[in-house]
Structure 1
Amino acid sequence: MSKLIFVLLLAALAAGGWWIWQRYSGFADAPLSGLEPGETLVVESGDSFAGVLAKLRAAGVREGEKLEWQVLARQLGAAGKLQVGEYALAPGMTPRQVLLAMRDGKVISHRFTIVEGWNIRELRAALAKASPLEHDTASMTDATLMQALDHAGQHPEGRFLPETYVYTRGDSELDVLKRANGAMETALEAAWSQRAADTPLKSKEEALILASIVEKETGIAEERPQIAGVFARRLKIGMRLQTDPTVIYGMGAAYAGNIRKNDLLVDTPYNTYTRTGLPPTPIAMPGIDALRAAANPAAGDALYFVALGDGSGRHVFTSSLGQHEAAVREYIQRYRQQQRQAQ
């Protein structure tokens, strides 16, 4: 009789174990209910497993007892190893997928793009709106910002490479700017190392300044070497650059979207109509193509260019003042014609 009882007990234990295993397996790989699209969970430094589970509950997860979550975490090697960060909780995820993501640190990535041609004011304004980036530079002047980036005394204009930077929750504006600054230094060094032998530029700094002007003069990639060629030839012969973007930069907040003839006569360090040579600093953030164009301008004899005025953004390049003046007249004629058609 005792042997029969023992067998029955073993059978009951086996059945109970099978039931528990089935329930556990069903929990681990069953889709979680209650999650909404776009739901996230943030694991912070110092969060306990119980605290993370409480955040899951607050996000709408109701499945599983605490013990089931703990057993699954131990099985996956996630117990005590949940990584800090922000995690996506998509509808249909299973407990196994949730814990594996937190164990492996598969955090949500965010992106911030520095646009080619932005100036430092535009860059800082965009950073201030970026979320969930931590805003640690809001109270900094440009000078203290560059000091924080270990470039004390350096002007911030043009120092950050236009590119898309990936960051995660907890990263700050300074984190992104350090990477962008390092990327610009690398790109500038690469462009300068491949510079033309006959370049009139004396340093990487001058290459960066010229690249920023090229960036503001055209959005057409294949025109950048031609634009750079015009300015390089002017620098070689001591001819003033006479480029509107530098004048606009020198006007600062006074620029209201339209440059007048009188503005070209107001002398500032950035007025290349009144001063010979390059301006004292870059005027924008140049991209890699503009850096390469400044270091390796296209050959030719053109000393002038003017917009076609046909909406393409392209330019007409000429080698004499007479040709240039004729191109300007054609531009004005096309512009006026478009104005009449728009009325």
Structure 2
Amino acid sequence: MDKKKIITIVSVVLMSVLLIYGGILANQVFSKNTKFSQKEFYVQVPTGSSYEDVKKILEPLVENMNRFEMVANKRSYPENVKPGRFLLTNGMNSYQLVKALRSNVPVKLAFNNQERLEDFAGRISSQIEPDSLLLINTFQDSTFLKENNFTSENVFVMFIPNTYEVYWNISAEKFRDKMIKEYHNFWNKERTEKAAKQSLTPVEATILASIVHKESVKKDERPRIAGVYLNRMKLEMPLQADPTVIFAKKLKDNDFKQTIKRVFYNDLFLNSPYNTYKVIGLPPGPIAMPDITALEAVLAPEKHDFIYFCASVDRFGYHEFAATLPEHNVNAKKYSDWINGQGVAR
């Protein structure tokens, strides 16, 4: 056999081997390698995870781990594991899986209507990596409180209801820093000046807004309610806000899951800094997370002479307002007679 034929045969054999190897490689890299039924699946890789940890996370989701590992090694993934939240889609191949594990997907955090810092921390910890205890401790760090003129009772005012984009593996400190930045962005010069016109600081305005928020779900009525409380504060009257009594009762019972629909006469004597029937001025902290309409109601209250209000019998969800005690007593009796007839015991 001449030299030229030998070279030709060797070339053909090598080409065949390369084609076979290429086919095997293509199968390893580009064939489907997922086994979950959902269209999309988010994988969370905790901070400090190793490559072995990632493989354990992926094991229920990947059809052939050997194929994944071959591509991961080729792509130097074992040496470059990153924590975070990653989106996998049904039908991904090994190459796409490795690529996806390098693309941290942010979380859209939305929060409102939380009653306490503890509730808020629990809500947030279900959406990002730090647990609720770590979040609370970070929010209540003494140095942070001092630097921002907060107390452990009022630091909850820092959180402005909105939708925020963060990475799942954000640290508790970085999350707190983002929230304080958003707080200062909200309390710009214009809003701070509006609060000052009501003789309030941003913290005081938020605490009052939390009461207004709890008093009425009717957003169009909130500026009028805010006006009532500001009138009382100018007269140095107790705020006498029923929602603060309800909050004080829940705090005393250490049970914020209970539903309290009615405040009784004896409740008004509960010893608590949150009971505004006994304490002049604002409570030491918010009784809820006020939404933006409640905050704006305090910053732009309705101007009037009303000092009193109670729930309306004729306009469900709204209130009846009065400038004098005799007028209020008429409205209050009407409401009391109605609610007694409903048999509301708590």
Q: Fold-level match, TM-score > 0.5?
A: yes
Say yes or no: does 1:137 pair with 2:136.
no
What number of residue pairs does the alignment pair up?
A: 331
- Once the two structures are superposed, residues 121-166 of structure 1 have per-residue CA deviations (whole angstroms, 9 ceiling, x without a partner) of 4335556x73663337369779x92426444771333333234555
Tell me which residue corresponds to 1:35: 36
| Aligned 8 A contact 2:128 2:168 in 1 | yes
- Tell me if the contact between 1:36 and 1:90 (Cα under 8 Å) persists in the aligned partners: no
Shift of 1:278: 2.9
Residue aligning to 1:155: 152
The corresponding residue for 1:9 is 10
2:157 aligned counterpart, secondary structure: coil
Say which SS state the counterpart of residue 316 (structure 1) adopts: strand
How much has 1:230 moved relative to structure 2?
1.4
CA distance in 2, matches of 1:293, 1:178: 27
Of the candidates 48, 60, 63, which is equivalent to residue 61 of structure 1? Answer: 63
* 1:221 corresponds to: 219
Structure 1: runs of 5+ lacking an equivalent: none
1:209 aligns with one of 186, 207, 210: 207
TM-score (norm 2): 0.75
With over 3 angstroms needed to count, the CA separation of the structure-2 counterparts of 1:70 and 1:230, relative to structure 1, is closer
Asked if 2 retains the 8 angstrom alpha-carbon contact of 1:165 and 1:176, the reply is no
In structure 2, relative to structure 1, the CA distance for the partners of 1:321 and 1:120 (3 Å cut) is same
Contact residue 212 and residue 222 of structure 2 kept, 8 A:
yes
1 CA distance for matches of 2:66 and 2:321?
72
Q: 1:308 to 1:27 in 2, by over 3 A?
A: farther
Q: How much does 1:72 deviate?
A: 5.7
Residue 121 of structure 2 contacts residue 135 of structure 2 at CA under 8 Å; is this kept in 1?
no
Q: Which residue of 1 aligns with 2:96?
A: 97
* Separation of aligned partners in 1, 2:172 and 2:69: 41
The answer as to whether partners of 1:116 and 1:215 remain within 8 angstroms in 2 is no
Counterpart of 2:33, as a letter, is L
Residues 268, 119 of structure 1: CA spacing in aligned structure 2 closer, same or farther, 3 A cutoff? same
- The Cα of 1:264 is off from its aligned counterpart by 1.8
> Could you tell me the TM-score, scaled by structure 1's length?
0.76
Equivalent position SS for 1:159: helix
3-state SS of 1:221 partner: coil
Distance in 1, matches of 2:245 and 2:202, equals 22
The percent of aligned pairs where both chains have the same amino acid is 24
- Answer yes or no: is 1:19 the counterpart of 2:20: yes
Q: Name the structure 2 match of 1:292.
A: 296
Distance 1:10 1:276 in 2: 96
Distance 1:71 1:275 in 2: 67
Post-superposition offset of 1:297: 1.0
Query: Is the 8 Å Cα contact of residues 41 and 89 (structure 1) preserved in structure 2?
Result: no
Alpha-carbon deviation of 1:338? 4.6
Tell me which residue corresponds to 2:287. Answer: 283
Equivalent positions of 1:69-80 (< 5 A) are: 69-70=71-72, 73=75, 80=79
Deviation, 1:210, is: 1.6
Whole-angstrom CA distance in 1 between matches of 2:272 and 2:152:
17
**Cross-structure match for 1:122:** 119
Return the offset for 1:34.
3.2
Deviation, 1:3, is 0.8
CA distance in structure 1 between the partners assigned to 2:54 and 2:241 by the alignment: 58
Cα offset, 1:114, TM superposition = 4.1
Q: What RMSD in Å do the two structures reach over aligned CA positions?
A: 3.9
Give the gaps of 5 or more residues in structure 2: none
